[in-house]
Structures are given as structure tokens and as C-alpha cells.
Amino acid sequence: MYDTLILAAVTLFAVWAVSLRGGPAADGSVFKSRHNRRISRLWQAAQASMRENNLLQAEKALLTILNLDRKNAAAYNLLGILYAKQKEYNHALECFTAAFNIEENASSFHNLGMVYFNLEQYEKAAIAFKQALTLDNGSALRHIEYAKVLERLGRNKEMLEALQKAAELEPKPEILRLLLKTYKSRKMEAEAEAIQTQLKQMIIPSSARQKNIQRSARSVA
């Protein structure tokens, strides 16, 4: 029951991490040469094409960047995301591994975790997400992705802790509702009631909101 619960809900949060560290604009001196100005233009074109979902144009721009600069971790990362969007996970893994070998950062580990999950290599995914969280544990979405992997591995206590951490970092309604469903599925009634109370406090009924507006208007007048 819980399996379908978290996997259905977590699709709202699944994200790939884009790291600009090591990218074309990371250094103020990058624009000093024609070579680097060309890389910068290609990088901007790749990002624009990704936003427009023009993946072919984005791929061409990123491959051109890598022909000019084979140590460009940001380009490898974005190219990996592009392949992952097309479910070409083996190609994505090659790109993320290349980015990771050039520069170890939370984004590289995060993306490795994502692609390992899609390849159903859950142990490797868990290791990658753990490394990402060691470097940067301030992302609620990363904790949710980690929870998804832990659930697949049957590590339910750690999975719940990851969801709790996500809710602690970003107590948004959608994350709290995910934690609430988790508590309910595990018959954790006291914890579920506490989350329900927290959610109710975040929502002002429309009638009360209207009264507050009217009261404020009268006080101004």
C-alpha cells in the first residue's frame, strides 16, 4: 500500500539538479577570450533550448561545448539531464559520471542517484543520494528522493526519517500531506493528528479571510 502511496506522490517533487559550478560563466575571466565567449553563447543557447523542450538543439549546443572544453562539468550535467528526460539512462549515467569525475559536488551525486534509481540499481542510488546529502543536506526535495530509494530497499525507518527531515526543512502543504499519508499508512495516529493540526493552521477559511480584509479596511478608514 505504501509503495504506491509514496511513488505516486513523489512524482510531484522529482527533480534533476543543475549545477552551474564549473560552467562557462563560473569565472569572471571567462569572457576574456573569443573561445570562452563562444562557450558562453552555446551554454545560454542550450539552456534556452532546454526550457523550450527543444532537446535536439540543446544536445547540439552541449556537445559543441564539450568538443571545445572536455572538462566542463556543467555541460556534462545538463547533457545527462537531457538524456534522462528521454529515458536514455545509460547515456545519462555516462554524462553524470563524467561530471562527477571532473567535480564532486551535491548536484553530481544527486543526478547519479536519480539515474541509478531509474536503472533500478537502488543500492548505488542510495549511496549517491547519501553522498549528496553529506555535501548539502538543505534540500527538501533531495531528502524526498532519498526516501523513495530507501523505501525500495525496505529501509523503512530511514525512509521515514528522510521524509520528516524534508518536512522540517520545507513545511509546505504538499510535503506535509506526503508525510501525513505516510503516518496514516503506518497507523501512527498521534503523529498524523499533529500534521493535520499543522495543515489546518496554515489555511485560513475564506470566510475568516474576508472578515480580516473587511476589518483591515475599516481600520484604515
pLDDT at 22 over 60: no
pLDDT recorded at residue 16? 63
Residues in the chain, total: 221
The answer to whether 179 and 198 are in contact (CB under 8 A) is no
* Rounded distance between C-alpha atoms, residue 61 and residue 29, angstroms: 22
User: What is the residue whose three cell numbers read 556543467?
Assistant: 74
Residue 189 confidence class, pLDDT cut points 50, 70, 90: very high
DSSP state of 160: H
The answer to whether 108 and 19 are in contact (CB under 8 A) is yes
**Rounded to two decimals, what is the model's pTM?**
0.76
- How confident is the model over 69-98, as pLDDT tens digits? 999 999 999 999 999 999 999 999 999 999
DSSP state of 32: G
* Rounded distance between C-alpha atoms, residue 98 and residue 73, angstroms: 7
DSSP state of 172: -
Identify the structural domains of the chain with CATH numbers, from first to last: 2-170 (1.25.40.10)
C-alpha closest to that of 71 among 32, 39, 107, 118? 39
pLDDT at 10 over 60: no
- How confident is the model over 86-132, as pLDDT tens digits? 999 999 999 999 998 998 889 989 999 999 999 999 999 999 999 99
